């Protein structure tokens, strides 16, 4: 039977590399590339068809950071497919990143140097903003839009895979400020929230046949990472990056390597997976890719609380949207 795989943020980086790898694995797949920009989606589709000329590649317009777009895209998915075998929740942003050079150089000569290169802990902040739905943009894109998509498509789903990060950190997340309105680590907070949500989904939904996993792709050179430093700087330090890669397995660097754990999970029986593990894409000094589970620092109770808070926010957002639609209808009649 033809399997259907939907991937958010599939037009570039790790998402696009995953598409390539999945088509190489199973040429009979039906891939659905869910992207916000249809021109970029078309370009990705053409690239995939160049290497896999008989592949079934569909496109879906989805801005995961917009409530209305998620609801419309979900309607379209329900009209097109009877089921989604794998939903990869991969789209993600890190807007206005700032590297703390002082902390970086201090870190270079500390015991935590390997950890710093693997997680960017203590050296990276972001500046977030409100989107047109009144939500924090990073939270809306990296977490809430995906949550809403899952809620809309639930009867069709069986496997979920989140592209999280080793930058996810408990101390960056606060249950009282789950959107991270206050701090400057919105990326870390949103990724920690996705780890928690994945655990909560497993606790609530495994009995109904829905399984969720999280991965970290390692440090991959994509649009997201290129946005952190000016391009001339990347050109300068690229040889150093490849050198560091010999000593640290988290420097996967290429999108193909970064997609390792996403691909590996595609081949696993969900019952054999650990809901408390994050599956890391790793690359050895000799360039061999492998996947390694590492325990996440999360409480089951807290993950359930987050799940309830997301359900509450969903209600609120839907109510607001229907009020806005009603207002629009009234003014159209006038
Ligand atoms: N690169 C790395 O080192 C790491 C990346 N990650 C995660 O991997 C995932 C993929 O990122 P990566 O491949 O690196 O970076 P890219 O920027 O190449 O890919 C991000 C993808 O997400 C899409 N996207 C962003 N915002 C939205 C939106 N509102 N609606 C729909 N699609 C959207 C982008 O589309 P568009 O082209 O239109 O912007 C793009 O296709 C992210 O979740 C990121 O956090 C995790 C750890 C490390
Ligand atoms: C190699 C030299 C000399 C400098 C590079 C320093 C930083 C730009 C680099 C060090 C650790 C990196 C890192 C990320 C981005 C680039 C670094 C800060 C990530 C935050 C990218 C996105 C993620 O989700 C993380 C897993 C990455 C963690 C490490």
Question: How many other CB atoms are found less than 10 A from the CB of residue 149?
Answer: 25
The whole-number pLDDT of residue 114 equals 92
Burial category of 76 from C-beta neighbours within 10 Å (exposed 0-12, middle 13-18, buried 19 and up): middle
Q: Are 66 and 146 in contact (CB under 8 A)?
A: no
Compute the distance between CA of residue 153 and CA of residue 147 in angstroms, rounded to an integer.
10
Between the CA of 120 and the centroid of ligand 2 the distance, in Å, is 5
Between the CA of 13 and the centroid of ligand 1 the distance, in Å, is 7
The percentage of residues in the chain with a pLDDT greater than 90, rounded to a whole number, is 95
* CA of 164, nearest ligand number: 1
| Residue range 213-224, pLDDT digits in tens | 999 999 999 999
Q: Whose CA is nearest to atom 44 of ligand 1?
A: 92
Q: Whose CA is nearest to atom 10 of ligand 2?
A: 117
Arithmetic mean of pLDDT, 267-276 = 98
Compute the distance between CA of residue 44 and CA of residue 38 in angstroms, rounded to an integer.
10
> Rounded to two decimals, what is the model's pTM?
0.98
Q: Whose CA is nearest to atom 21 of ligand 1?
A: 9
Between the CA of 165 and the centroid of ligand 1 the distance, in Å, is 12
Between the CA of 72 and the centroid of ligand 1 the distance, in Å, is 21
Q: Is the model's pLDDT at 112 over the cut of 90?
A: yes
H/E element holding 49? helix 38-51
Q: Whose CA is nearest to atom 13 of ligand 2?
A: 120
Q: Whose CA is nearest to atom 4 of ligand 2?
A: 237
Arithmetic mean of pLDDT, 262-284 = 98
Compute the distance between CA of residue 181 and CA of residue 313 in angstroms, rounded to an integer.
15
Residue the block writes with tokens 């370009």: 43
- Contacts of residue 285, defined as CB under 8 A and 6 or more positions apart, other chains included, come to 245, 246, 247, 249
Ligand 1: residues with CB < 6 A are: 8-9, 11-15, 35-37, 40, 62-65, 90-93, 141, 163, 165, 216-217, 219-220, 222-225
Residues with catalytic function: 187
Between the CA of 142 and the centroid of ligand 1 the distance, in Å, is 9
Burial category of 92 from C-beta neighbours within 10 Å (exposed 0-12, middle 13-18, buried 19 and up): buried
Helix pair angle (186-205, 300-333), 10° resolution: 100
Lowest mean pLDDT: which of 101-110, 126-135, 183-192, 319-328?
A: 319-328
Q: Is the model's pLDDT at 333 over the cut of 80?
A: no
Q: Which of 92, 187, 188 to mutate to test the pocket of ligand 1 (most atoms within 8 A of CB)?
A: 92
The whole-number pLDDT of residue 176 equals 98
| Residue range 15-63, pLDDT digits in tens | 999 999 999 999 999 999 999 999 999 999 999 999 999 999 999 999 9
| Residue range 279-332, pLDDT digits in tens | 999 999 999 999 999 999 999 999 999 999 999 999 999 999 999 888 887 888
């Amino acid at each position: 039977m033809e399997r259907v795989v939907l991937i958010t943020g599939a037009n570039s980086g790790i998402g696009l590399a995953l598409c390539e790898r999945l088509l190489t694995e199973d040429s009979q797949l039906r891939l659905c590339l869910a992207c916000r920009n249809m021109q970029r989606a078309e370009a990705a589709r053409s690239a995939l068809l160049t290497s896999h000329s008989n592949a079934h590649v569909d496109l879906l317009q989805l801005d995961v950071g917009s409530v209305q777009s998620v609801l419309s895209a979900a309607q379209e998915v329900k009209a097109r497919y009877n089921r989604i075998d794998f939903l990869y929740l991969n789209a993600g942003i890190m807007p206005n990143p700032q590297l703390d050079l002082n902390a970086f150089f201090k870190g270079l000569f500390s015991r935590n140097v390997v950890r710093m290169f693997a997680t960017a802990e203590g050296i990276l902040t972001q500046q977030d903003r409100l989107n047109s739905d009144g939500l924090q943009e990073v939270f809306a894109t990296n977490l809430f839009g995906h949550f809403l998509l899952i809620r809309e498509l639930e009867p069709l789903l069986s496997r979920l895979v989140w592209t999280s990060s080793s930058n996810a950190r408990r101390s960056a997340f606060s249950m009282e400020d789950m959107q991270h309105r206050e701090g400057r680590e919105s990326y870390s907070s949103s990724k920690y929230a996705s780890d928690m949500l994945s655990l909560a989904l497993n606790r609530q939904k495994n009995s109904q046949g829905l399984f969720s996993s999280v991965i970290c792709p390692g440090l991959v050179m994509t649009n997201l990472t290129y946005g952190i430093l000016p391009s001339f700087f990347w050109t300068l330090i690229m040889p150093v990056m490849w050198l560091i890669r010999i000593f640290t397995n988290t420097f996967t660097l290429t999108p193909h390597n970064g997609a390792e754990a996403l691909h590996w999970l595609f081949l696993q029986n969900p019952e054999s997976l650990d809901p408390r593990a994050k599956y890391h894409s790793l690359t050895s000094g000799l360039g061999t890719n492998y996947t390694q589970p590492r325990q996440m620092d999360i409480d089951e109770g807290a993950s359930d609380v987050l799940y309830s808070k997301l359900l509450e926010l969903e209600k609120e957002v839907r109510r607001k949207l229907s009020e806005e639609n009603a207002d629009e209808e009234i003014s159209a009649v006038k």
